[in-house]
Structure 1
Amino acid sequence: MPSDTPQPAFVLVRPQMGENIGAASRAMWNFGLDRMRLVAPRDGWPNPSAVAMSSGAGRLLEEAQVHDTTAEAVGDCSYVFATTARSRGLTKPVVSPERAMEMAAEKIAAGERVAVLFGPERAGLENDDIARANAIISVPVNPEFASLNLAQCVLLTAYEWRRASSRIDHDRIELAGADWATGIEIEKLAEHYEDRLDEAGFFFPETKAEGMKIVLRNLWSRMPLTRSDVQMLHGIMRQMVRWKTRGD
């Protein structure tokens, strides 16, 4: 059974190759989408080539709805997007994939059903398909090479859905089991280095010593240190002191 997560239906209109259907299912499942609908797949359905290419997303293929026409596939939807790279001579709102999936998230949150149409590999959607859509999704690709593979287009749109519907960490650090050092631990590290460097005569001349210590403490505060980092830095200084003592 499809998941309970509210989401748009991705409708592959007259897809030609089973491999592309399988790759599209994999792309959808990468981003948590599992509502696939197929309109008149050229090689019939089910398709062994699609299953072989799905790489773990076979459930989407087993649960995919198969329809004879585009109208039938989107009959239960109140808002439909159509993906196309070419101007079709139809007056429609044209939005980026990012904006389209933002709109989809808003509409689905309001209780609407949304679908996204993807055309066949060779020529894309026909005007009859696009006429049934409320808006067009236009990907800002190279105008001299605007054609996207079916699975690529599905992947790109699914990624934007994930961004629009989920909290994304745009920047993070993997701590690998470590914890961030606390303020007191950083303070003790700073004191350790100040004391040892003072003994070594590093803070010279005396008139500049206080300023040098402030610069050093500021250095520690700018460094995102873990507890393991602090322990290692303490150990480095201890070993250097022992080495100097042995040298004497």
Structure 2
Amino acid sequence: MVDLMGEAAGAPPAIVLVEPQLGENIGTAARAMANFGVTDLRLVTPRDGWPNEKAVYASAGAVHVIENARVFDTLDAAIADLSFVIATTRRPRHMTKRVEGPAEGLAELTAVARAGHGTGILFGRERWGLENDEIARANIIVSFPVDPTFASLNIAQSVLLMAYEWRRIAAAAPTLPEPKNPPATREEVTGLWEHFKRVLTPTGYFRPPDMAEKMERNLLLLLSDANWDRQQVRTLRGVLGHIEKPRGEGDDGEG
């Protein structure tokens, strides 16, 4: 293969497999990653544990991807250091989150990577994919333009399509200027969401009780979709922290 990549392309995205069930599927996904120079594999609670010999065998030589794979107990931990995350899904979710095709979504991801920030792509379980709460943590959804009469893709196929599209776009995309402030990481955005929940819950905002979980997720969707930079997140958390203070605390005595 002729290598068209260089440092200007930015780091490849992390591939995050959420609760993968079979070692063979992890191995074939690793093989697909290696085909296009993507090597950061992150596993969230693989069902059959890790390491997994079946994954090694199925990787067909992509042992470097398997050996460097990292395992996380939660999705939040797996994406904490990433500033731009794509969630892949083939099912309509009826969520207030932007949906793009692979080319458009990976063009955005590549722009963030070229600026030196971490990126990732989420893939769900073999049987039912990603759950809505997991998708809510991503910046955008990417959906494949498959034939609706036979829309099923396995994990390796999905990883292959995204890795190929990333490499194609990263090799051709122009270098963009560095943003004034670095983008917020997913950990920082999740922290902002948790802070909002902590401030709003005592006010009775999340009601009625049977709708509270959905309302919390909708708030996360709103926050995770915005292209926050780190300074904006710090400013908002400062505002929330001020609201949390007991009345009069920090008062200069005037009023």
1:67 and 2:104 aligned: no
Verify: 1:165 aligned to 2:165, yes or no.
no
How big is the shift at 1:103? 1.2
Cα distance in 1 for partners of 2:104, 2:33 equals: 18
Aligned length: 165
Which residue matches 2:60? 55
Aligned twin of 2:91: 86
Give the C-alpha shift of residue 87 in structure 1.
1.6
Which residue is equivalent to 2:143?
138
* TM-score, normalising length: structure 2: 0.63
| Corresponding letter in the other structure for 1:134 | N
Flag structure 1 segments of 5+ consecutive residues without an equivalent.
Answer: 169-248
1:21 and 2:26 matched = yes
Deviation at 1:111, TM superposition (A): 2.0
Shift of 1:89: 2.5
Work out which structure has the larger RCO, using CA pairs closer than 8 Å and 6 or more positions apart in sequence.
2
- Tell me the SS of whatever aligns to 1:37: strand
Per-residue CA deviation, residues 100-151 of structure 1 (Å, 9 max, x unaligned), is 2111111111122111000011100011110101100100001122121000
Letter in 2 for 1:102: A
Q: Percent of pairs identical after alignment?
A: 55
Q: Are the equivalent residues in 1 in contact too, given 2:85–2:109 (CA < 8 A)?
A: no
SS in 1 for 2:126: coil
Unaligned runs of 5+ in 2: 1-6, 174-255
Distance 1:116 1:36 in 2: 10
- The structure that has the greater radius of gyration is 1
1:113 matched to which residue of 2? 118
RMSD of aligned alpha carbons: 1.5
Contact 2:16 2:122 in 1 (8 A): yes
Deviations for 1:176-215, whole angstroms, at most 9, x for unmatched residues? xxxxxxxxxxxxxxxxxxxxxxxxxxxxxxxxxxxxxxxx
Question: Distance between the aligned counterparts of 1:11 and 1:92, measured in 2?
Answer: 19
Q: Structure 1 segments of 4 or more deviating over 4 A? A: none
For 1:129, give the aligned amino acid.
E
Task: Return the alpha-carbon distance in structure 2 between the equivalents of residues 167 and 72 of structure 1.
Answer: 32
Alignment partner, residue 44 of structure 1: 49
Map of 1:186-205 to 2, 5 A cutoff? none
Name the counterpart of 1:156.
Answer: 161
Q: CA separation in 1, counterparts of 2:138 and 2:70? A: 19
CA distance in 2, matches of 1:167, 1:109: 12
SS at match of 1:166: helix
Partner amino acid for 1:166?
Answer: A
3-state SS of paired residue (2:42): strand
Provide the C-alpha distance between the structure 1 equivalents of 2:117 and 2:95, rounded to a whole number of angstroms. Answer: 24
Output the CA distance in 2 between the equivalents of 1:110 and 1:19. Answer: 35
**Partner SS for 1:80:** strand
Post-superposition shift, 1:167?
Answer: 4.9
Q: Paired residue for 1:194?
A: none
- 2:136 is equivalent to residue 127 of structure 1: no
Partner of 1:176: none
How far apart, in 2, do the equivalents of 1:109 and 1:103 lie?
Answer: 10
Which aligned pairs between 1:202-217 and structure 2 lie closer than 5 A? none
